[in-house]
Amino acid sequence: MLSSAHLLPTSVRLAPSWICRSSRSFMDLKALLSSLNDFASLSFAESWDNVGLLVEPSPPHTVNTLFLTNDLTEEVMEEALQKKADLILSYHPPIFRAMKHITWKTWKERLVIRALENRVAIYSPHTAYDAAPQGVNNWLAKGLGTCSTRPIHPSRAPNYPTEGAHRLEFSVNHTQDLDKVMSAVKGIGDVSVTSFAARCDDEEQTRISLNCTQKALMQVLAFLSQNRQLYQKTEILSLEKPLLLDTGMGRLCTLDESVSLATMIERVKGYLKLSHLRLALGVGKTLESPVKVVALCAGSGGSVLQGVEADLYLTGEMSHHDVLDAASKGINVILCEHSNTERGFLSDLQQMLGVHLENKINIILSETDRDPLHVV
């Protein structure tokens, strides 16, 4: 005789969301890097910075999971490996100064070793994301309230609008000399030539305009110096790379309506989810003093904010003497610790990259990444 069976209730444990693999496709690392550069060009980065692909497993390398962190520490690396990351986007570059050897002695060397052993690529955008129109500083400005913003130090395009960095213009009086001049300058490399009719002192002339590199400019000038009878009225212009719209370091923010410093403090604390921040009152200022113009820079803002006229400086950290200098000018200073002014951007970045990459890969945020300093 068979005994009756009883179904016992069992608890069901759901796997963490990062374990669940979706039907999203993989992306080749090179294609993904190209898409990331389309999102925010690495050309926006400061010249001293170390941005881009820092660690690359042997190709081909495909990416299913992109892992976002502000700082790549050993604890964060362990989390990334547990979550099967194929590419770590670390806002701060874990490799900055040159490494002379890769051993197990220092934590940054160990990061490289563990990444390569586990076939994990590492990419850092850093100041490229600071400067980008949709980047870190624009995100930080959103916490101030309704305002208009512009870069404190605008970025310039990586290339000149024309060939070369110089423009040389001169006039040729006689038609018979024109062919000789045009033939000579066209024979010099890295020169683009245009000509147009001009009239000077009731005399018909041909005006020659050259866009050229520094090297080509010296060659053209050498030719002209040997043929002084062929030309006159010479002008040399140094061309500038054009400014990029809404792109650059720091932001100068003008609020639609002034608020008290006390109100602004509460806005910043709420936006950055901080219980405390550091405040230096400008000379003659109180918590009730009005704030209309805010100059901000995520991270370390001393060099970017220096000399900027504003009611308030907002940044992560500044040197003691930079704070004293600002306060002496009546400028209030709020310091939130370095990465506290950056890390919250990653949530916005996760959403923006999801759209930009058409949800082709999983994009996850680190849960262990945090500022190393705590108020105790």
Do residues 275 and 266 lie in contact, with contact meaning Cβ atoms separated by under 8 Å? no
Q: Looking at this protein, which amino acid is placed at residue 209?
A: S
| CA 156 to chain centroid | 12
Q: How many CB atoms lie within 10 A of CB 259?
A: 16
Judge whether 338 is annotated as a binding position. yes
| Separation between Cα atoms, residue 25 and residue 360, nearest integer Å | 5
Measure Cα distances from 129 to 124, 185, 235, 351 in Å: 9, 42, 39, 15
Q: Which of 209, 215, 220 is nearest to 184 (CA)?
A: 220
Judge whether 288 is annotated as a binding position. no
Which residue is it, tokens 């991270």? 299
Q: Which residues contact 187 (CB under 8 A, 6 or more apart)?
A: none
Judge whether 126 is annotated as a binding position. no
Q: Looking at this protein, which amino acid is placed at residue 7?
A: L
Q: Which of 301, 183, 327 is nearest to 249 (CA)?
A: 301
Judge whether 356 is annotated as a binding position. no
Strand order in the sheet with 203-212: 191-200, 203-212, 166-172, 232-238
Is residue 300 exposed (0-12), middle (13-18) or buried (19+ Cβ within 10 Å)?
middle
Residues tagged in the binding site annotation? 92, 130, 338, 342
Residues tagged in the binding site annotation for a divalent metal cation? 92, 130, 338, 342
